[in-house]
Amino acid sequence: MAMPPPAWRPGTAMVPACRDWSVPRLRCASRCWPPPGPTVPVAGPASGPRSGGGDPEGMVQALRRMAVVASDQTHRIRLAFEDGRVHLNVLTPDLGEGHDELELVYQGEDIEIGFNANYLLEVLRYMPTDEVKLTFKAPERAATLEPVAEDETAIDYLCLVMPLRLLD
């Protein structure tokens, strides 16, 4: 039977960082994370050509109203962004339809994008500021939500939300 390395004690482990090592009848490999090399951007927009911002509490109230009518399986809500406002629409064969409208600051081309209402509500519930910024590139790409601070202090809170495919 092979003896453990001299500094080994029960309940402890000595593993050389980021290299392969072995003892008789045992071979282990460890890897550093992240691996060395250039940084690869994470999925989702760091900054997109389209962004909108507004009061998270107003968004939460509108999303709750629309979530009542949304499908029980997908909770899909259609958001149509245009200059100065967003239209929230829900159409469910069983429950009917709902429409709501919010004023917000929006920059970019008009776009329609779908989200799970519960995911947006969960993110907005924990926003630490009075204004939130939603940034996205395209209806099929991930969107980011982040708080906007008035005094330009760095708030380390970024949420990535995947959209749902909209059915026409």
- For position 128, what pLDDT does the model report? 82
> Per 3-state DSSP, what percentage of the chain is helix, strand, and coil (rounded to 5)?
10, 35, 50
pTM, 2 dp: 0.68
- For position 29, what pLDDT does the model report? 64
Share above pLDDT 70 across residues of the chain, in percent, rounded to a whole number: 72
- For position 77, what pLDDT does the model report? 94
Count of all residues that appear for the chain in the document: 168
- For position 30, what pLDDT does the model report? 59
Rg for the chain, CA atoms, rounded? 24
- For position 116, what pLDDT does the model report? 94
- For residues 148 and 53, is the Cβ–Cβ distance under 8 A? yes
- For position 16, what pLDDT does the model report? 44
Q: What are the angstrom distances between the C-alpha of 142 and each of 31, 128, 152, 153?
A: 30, 22, 25, 25
Indicate the burial class of 37 (C-beta count within 10 angstroms; 0-12, 13-18, 19 or more): exposed
Domain map (residue ranges) of the chain: 50-161
- Which residue matches tokens 């949420």? 159
Query: Splitting the chain (168 residues) into consecutive groups of 10 residues, what average pLDDT does each group show?
Result: 48 50 68 53 57 89 92 91 93 90 90 94 87 90 88 76 87
- For position 50, what pLDDT does the model report? 85
Q: Which CATH number fits domain 50-161: 3.10.150.10, 2.60.40.650, 3.90.550.10, 3.40.50.800?
A: 3.10.150.10
- For position 11, what pLDDT does the model report? 47
- For position 76, what pLDDT does the model report? 93
